[in-house]
Amino acid sequence: MPFKHNRAAFRKILLSTMLFSAAAASAENRQCQKDYESVISAEITQISTALNEGNYSHILEKSDFSIIEFSGGIESYKAILSLAASFFKQSNIQVEKVELLPPNNSHIFGKKEFCVIPKQLTILINGKSITGDPSFMLAVRPLNSKEWKYIDGTGLKKNPDMLYTLFPEIPSSQNIITD
């Protein structure tokens, strides 16, 4: 009988160790809060101001592939960005200020980390300063990479179900946008 007792105790210890290891590994895989100051905030600011110079190639480079694919592929996405750059130039629109807040949380679903970065833009239209509604950027990275890609959250705020179309690995019961 002592053998069975030791076996049960061994199982409990093994299970506890496995759960602790899994939790620690999951925590170690979360990079969002660590990368916010050094990488994410700077990249979001660069993306948000890229159209000031008509530089949509930087936006293309830093956009998550899911939005590029949803837009019909790289050529279609380039055409959309080119139209946006032309509109900014013709309408004399400049992004004056990008205000970001650190993320409250990050989430791991499937093999990706997702991070909601609160954002508010102030734009100049013909010299008149206008502050937009609070929004966010969604930062996404594969767990096996340190490189972040982004999706502007304005469209996701208006159509939250789009999140699950772009990222089927996120369970529809999880609303990460409200973080």
Q: How far apart are CA 94 and CA 97, in angstroms?
A: 9
Q: Where are the domains of the chain?
A: 31-178
CA distances from 2 to 5, 7, 15, 117 (A): 5, 9, 20, 55
**DSSP H or E stretch at residue 94:** strand 93-100
CB atoms within 10 A of CB 95: 18
What's the predicted TM-score (pTM) here? 0.81
Q: Summarize the confidence of residues 112-133 as an average pLDDT.
A: 95
Percentage of the chain lying above the pLDDT 90 cut: 73
Please tell me the number of Cα atoms within 13 Å of 41 on its side-chain side: 14
Predicted local distance difference test score (pLDDT) of residue 24: 35
Q: What is the pLDDT of residues 41-92, one digit of tens each?
A: 999 999 999 999 888 899 999 999 999 999 999 999 999 999 999 999 999 9
pLDDT of residue 22: 36
The correct answer on CATH 3.40.50.300 for the domain covering 31-178 is no
Going by C-alpha positions, the residue among 21, 20, 84, 78 that lies closest to residue 52 is: 84
The confidence band for 6, taking pLDDT boundaries of 50, 70 and 90, is low
Q: Which of 3-17, 73-87, 105-119, 137-151 has the lowest mean pLDDT?
A: 3-17
